[in-house]
Structure 1
Amino acid sequence: MDNRLADMEVFTRVIATGSFSAAARQLGQTPSAVSRAVTRLEDRLRVRLLVRSTRSLTPTPEGEAYLAEARALLDQLEDMEGRIAQRARTPRGLLRVSATVGFGAMVVVPLVPGFLEAYPQVELDLTLSDAVVDLWQERTDIALRSGRLKSSALKARRLAAMRRVVVASPDYLARRGIPRVPADLEGHACLRYNFMAPEWPFHDPRTGERILQPVRGPLAASDGTILRQACLAGLGLMWSGDAVIAGDIAKGRLVEVLPDFADPEPETIHAVFAGHPHLATRIRAFVDYLQANIGKRMPGKEREPWQDERG
């Protein structure tokens, strides 16, 4: 396949320098390669572009016409590439982000106005869903995910850590009693996600063993905000990230139970995105902004250090 733009660049450089050898030195090519490029142009156009002599290279009338058009086209190409490069340095364009419902509503959404004020040329498309999003199929730029990540071709940035806790309303606990050990949950109404196994994980503080406690209840839902509202209404207990219900606990609307059996290792929140050597600045800007500000929305947590890691 011929490279017309490259041949065009060679021709304009030959005229500018006045010789094949000088053009070759500037282009990092051999004089014979430069000569072949000019010959390819002449063969393709079926016209003579240069009059060659032992002392000089002189463009023919057709060569002069081609030179003027070629210079204009190459200048236009350089200008276009410069504009694209400048655009790439300024965060702009459509940015698609996915986050879980509870974490997105309580932690991410409050940060959106500040981000859009800092980057007014970015258009944010934010989807809140507790389903696991396939970045490729859903055309999503960034997904905010919690827990252990599977190995993949995606890149992950650690943003924060979140404890998983069991909570209930004071009204529910007054009516049904307070569970003291995970096994007590067998006699309680447990509100759960319908896409997860009907069991909650705990940590035995005496043995260090992991406990998977089966749970049952009157409501299973795919949306964390539904479970939170049901929990606030006194319908049952809920297993949730502390960032989602921190405000409810602080105001006494919900109470943590079984705190001694909570997993001592917090669940890590990652920003996951497709790795690329030329990552769009809007993606980097959003992840940077979350990293710098997400700690302000987390309950008593220090921000995690910025680092790259495979998701």
Structure 2
Amino acid sequence: MTRMDVNRAAEMEVFARVVDLGGFTAAARACGLTPSGVSKLITRLETRLGTRLLHRSTRRLSLTPEGQAFHARAVRILGEMEEAEREASAGAAPRGHLRVNSNVPFGMRYLIPLVPEFLATHPGVTLDLVLSDAVVDLMEERADVAIRTGPLRDSSLMIRKLGSTRMVVVASPAYLEQHGTPRHPGDLARHKGIGWTFPRTIGGWP
């Protein structure tokens, strides 16, 4: 049997439970095994190591000198393994500073309501949410994530479609009564309108 065939960490844990809990039955309950299964595992461990770790009697178990040394080392190794797992798990959780850039309507309606829950779920993250309808250089703005409407100009960016939207023309009843109702998109050129005063990522009206 090679070392790759043996779960040495499991053997150490079961052995440590036997010693700490004072017997095979208690260790079996703690490890979800049968007492005979624990006994066989300890016997296999002793056979592999070539030494006796426990003195067995009908009343109690006691450690041999080799068992005392092995138990002390096993407890230390198991503790280091648990610490390594905790550190790895903590490292897997999102942490750091996240800068999100979005247009104002989407940010106000969809993002801002989600901020409290997001920060509560990810306490290791600090969030910088920038809302602007201006076309900005995302690299200069140091944005980690950006939400935009329209085609992507910079092909080096990775995109994911969030949804679809449409633009509509609206007018007040008073305006239509005074200036008439446009019947065709071309009629808009003869009407007064409120539009964007800065460059956009989408084309203008037909």
**Structure 1-normalised TM-score?**
0.38
Q: Is the 8 A contact 1:24 1:31 kept in 2?
A: yes
Q: Considering fraction of residues, name the structure with more strand.
A: 1
RMSD: 4.5
Higher relative contact order (CA 8 A, sep 6+): 1
Q: Is the 8 A contact 1:50 1:57 kept in 2?
A: yes
Q: Is the 8 A contact 1:167 1:237 kept in 2?
A: no
Which residue matches 2:125?
A: 122
Unaligned runs of 5+ in 1: 133-137, 148-162, 169-176, 190-223, 231-235, 239-311
Query: Which residue among 102, 105, 108 is the counterpart of 2:103?
Result: 105
How many residues are aligned here? 156
Q: How far does residue 179 in structure 1 lie from its aligned partner after superposition? A: 7.4
Q: Considering fraction of residues, name the structure with more helix.
A: 2
SS of residue matched to 1:51 = strand
Give the partner amino acid of 1:225: R
Query: Which residue among 237, 243, 247 is the counterpart of 2:205?
Result: 237
What is the CA–CA distance in structure 1 between the aligned matches of 2:63 and 2:82, rounded to whole Å? 24
Which residue matches 1:226?
A: 201
| 1:24-43 mapped onto 2 (5 Å cutoff) | 24-43=28-47
Which residue matches 1:241?
A: none
What is the CA–CA distance in structure 2 between the aligned matches of 1:87 and 1:21, rounded to whole Å? 37
| 1:127-138 mapped onto 2 (5 Å cutoff) | 127-128=146-147, 130=150
Q: How far does residue 9 in structure 1 lie from its aligned partner after superposition? A: 1.4
Which residue matches 2:135?
A: none
Give the partner amino acid of 1:127: A
Which residue matches 1:165?
A: 167
SS of residue matched to 1:16 = helix
What is the CA–CA distance in structure 2 between the aligned matches of 1:4 and 1:94, rounded to whole Å? 40
Q: Is the 8 A contact 2:28 2:35 kept in 1?
A: yes
- Does residue 70 (structure 1) correspond to residue 74 (structure 2)? The answer is yes
SS of residue matched to 2:19 = helix
Q: Is the 8 A contact 1:188 1:237 kept in 2?
A: no
Q: How far does residue 178 in structure 1 lie from its aligned partner after superposition? A: 8.4
Distance 1:117 1:31, change over 3 A: closer
Q: How far does residue 67 in structure 1 lie from its aligned partner after superposition? A: 0.5
Distance 1:127 1:76, change over 3 A: same
Give the partner amino acid of 1:11: F
- Does residue 8 (structure 1) correspond to residue 7 (structure 2)? The answer is no
**Structure 2-normalised TM-score?**
0.53
Q: How far does residue 70 in structure 1 lie from its aligned partner after superposition? A: 1.2
% same residue: 40
Q: Is the 8 A contact 1:14 1:23 kept in 2?
A: yes
Q: Is the 8 A contact 1:95 1:123 kept in 2?
A: yes
**Quick check: which has more Rg, 1 or 2?**
2
What is the CA–CA distance in structure 2 between the aligned matches of 1:62 and 1:72, rounded to whole Å? 16
Give the partner amino acid of 2:107: V
Give the partner amino acid of 2:167: V
SS of residue matched to 1:166 = coil
